[in-house]
Structure 1
């Protein structure tokens, strides 16, 4: 999998959020987008993930050397963020199954069991999500991002809502994937940087 961004620019109400962002990521690779709150790092992450479109510039995706459309790429991408909404009246397991089906992906119950166990939610997976703590909900969102065997993984503030134990669970799992995937993390936590190979400072692209 290769992701290529060319001369990306994003504006909001005539204000330039960032501009002239160009990069190429070929798996396996890990990148952190850093910056203060409100700096635009989450916006850039969503652009790279194909969740939104840029004011200018392009993002292209190649799978096994073949150019693929954004909609096809989305089936191969996992995305998680604290602001994503899950369904409180569904169980944790039902939420993840629903997310897979919405992407047209098969449900592998054995894999889901392993993921829930890895994130210490095996005993809670059949409980309603509205009974979960914020940290449990965040771990469920990460599970949903991982459940479809993504080739590219996008994590927006992944340790938000997590305590030290939850943060360790997250990075222990993500670190096992660094040799396989494109991993892009938006963060303002310096501790996250030890888990990535490259860093992009969003402020650099405000002054160009």
Structure 2
């Protein structure tokens, strides 16, 4: 869809922790940036505000996971960037191309795998993927289309009409259409929702290859274990506002609480008073002692605990550590923002 060239100019957002705005970086001056999103807001005619001055820089070649509850604004933001929805204010640059002043170049660089299955039912798989490439003015490239279809296990279905395919196969076609014009920035909006395990595996194999080739990938997903495995950075959006952007590993170190579980030689009836300064809990039967701590530790961390355990005469025969998953961190962040 061709965007409205009369979109409003950028409304500068105030600085936020975790990323820089274009006002700070200089518009179009960051060669490492795939996307520069500055002050994007969206208020509908009904008065509902879906996005509130969202600013974000996404680096070239990274896999960025955008997480948020239903209705948080994820799909609205993606639709605005892709030219499907008009923003109320703000601006976007794609590889330095302004989204309205140079919209053809900007849109040419973007591929979108939407949530909804929107394909022509009577077209064949081959025809619809080839047509998607032609929409961007690119010459026919049967070899590339063949490779995409094979990567997505669609080659045997290349002459089948879309209407005859299963839901999972139709999802594969959407991915193939998004890749047909060789985008540099790929949006995956809930790409594996409701699909089979085989498709998820195939798709992530393709995503890994795309990322290795330098394609920037922005993922929204309800399968947070996918973000935990694949993402370089994580952004959390809720109620139309970005509340956090962080390197995935740094986020898990910073906000992921850890547990040290000690399997005791002799069960305890209660935690000794000399250990009251630690966040300790006894398991059922008194045979396990669990120490919960953050990434910085408490009172010197595990080393101090070991010393105090010996002083209290508490012996253990084995130990193990656990850490909060990205899903638990995400749930806690969203809960705290409400």
TM-score norm. by structure 2 comes to: 0.57
Quick one: structure 1 residues 149 and 138, their matched pair in 2 at CA, closer, same or farther if it must change by over 3 Å?
A: same
Q: Which runs of 4+ in 1 moved over 6 A?
A: none
Q: Are the equivalent residues in 2 in contact too, given 1:7–1:58 (CA < 8 A)?
A: yes
Aligned to 1:5: 37
1:60 maps to which of 90, 93, 96: 93
2:208 maps to which of 167, 170, 175: 175
Q: Size of the alignment, in residue pairs?
A: 206
Q: Are the equivalent residues in 2 in contact too, given 1:61–1:69 (CA < 8 A)?
A: no
Q: Are the equivalent residues in 1 in contact too, given 2:236–2:242 (CA < 8 A)?
A: no
Counterpart Cα distance in 2 of 1:157 and 1:207: 18
Counterpart Cα distance in 2 of 1:174 and 1:153: 9
Counterpart Cα distance in 2 of 1:37 and 1:46: 15
Matches within 5 A, 1:1-208: 2-12=34-44, 13-63=46-96, 69-179=102-212, 180-193=214-227, 194-203=229-238, 205-206=240-241
> What is the DSSP-based 3-state SS (H/G/I as helix, E as strand, rest coil) of the residue aligned with 1:177?
helix
Higher relative contact order (CA 8 A, sep 6+): 1
- Identify which range, 66-75 or 82-91, moves more after superposition: 66-75
Q: What displacement does 1:191 show?
A: 2.2
Quick one: structure 1 residues 204 and 39, their matched pair in 2 at CA, closer, same or farther if it must change by over 3 Å?
A: closer
Query: What is the RMSD of the two structures over their aligned residues, measured on CA atoms?
Result: 2.0
Q: Are the equivalent residues in 2 in contact too, given 1:45–1:185 (CA < 8 A)?
A: no
Quick one: structure 1 residues 84 and 59, their matched pair in 2 at CA, closer, same or farther if it must change by over 3 Å?
A: farther
Counterpart Cα distance in 2 of 1:107 and 1:79: 20
Counterpart Cα distance in 1 of 2:84 and 2:60: 20
Q: Are the equivalent residues in 2 in contact too, given 1:26–1:182 (CA < 8 A)?
A: yes
Q: What displacement does 1:21 show?
A: 1.2
Unaligned runs of 5+ in 1: none
Deviations 1:139-187 (A, max 9, x none): 0110111121111101111102320110000011101122301211122
Counterpart Cα distance in 1 of 2:240 and 2:232: 20
> What is the DSSP-based 3-state SS (H/G/I as helix, E as strand, rest coil) of the residue aligned with 1:176?
helix
Larger radius of gyration: 2
Quick one: structure 1 residues 132 and 84, their matched pair in 2 at CA, closer, same or farther if it must change by over 3 Å?
A: closer
Counterpart Cα distance in 1 of 2:80 and 2:105: 15
Q: What displacement does 1:24 show?
A: 1.3
Counterpart Cα distance in 1 of 2:136 and 2:110: 10
Q: What displacement does 1:202 show?
A: 1.2
> What is the DSSP-based 3-state SS (H/G/I as helix, E as strand, rest coil) of the residue aligned with 2:176?
helix
Quick one: structure 1 residues 107 and 160, their matched pair in 2 at CA, closer, same or farther if it must change by over 3 Å?
A: farther
- Identify which range, 66-75 or 4-13, moves more after superposition: 66-75
Counterpart Cα distance in 2 of 1:36 and 1:83: 18
Counterpart Cα distance in 1 of 2:211 and 2:92: 22
TM-score norm. by structure 1 comes to: 0.90
Q: What displacement does 1:192 show?
A: 2.2
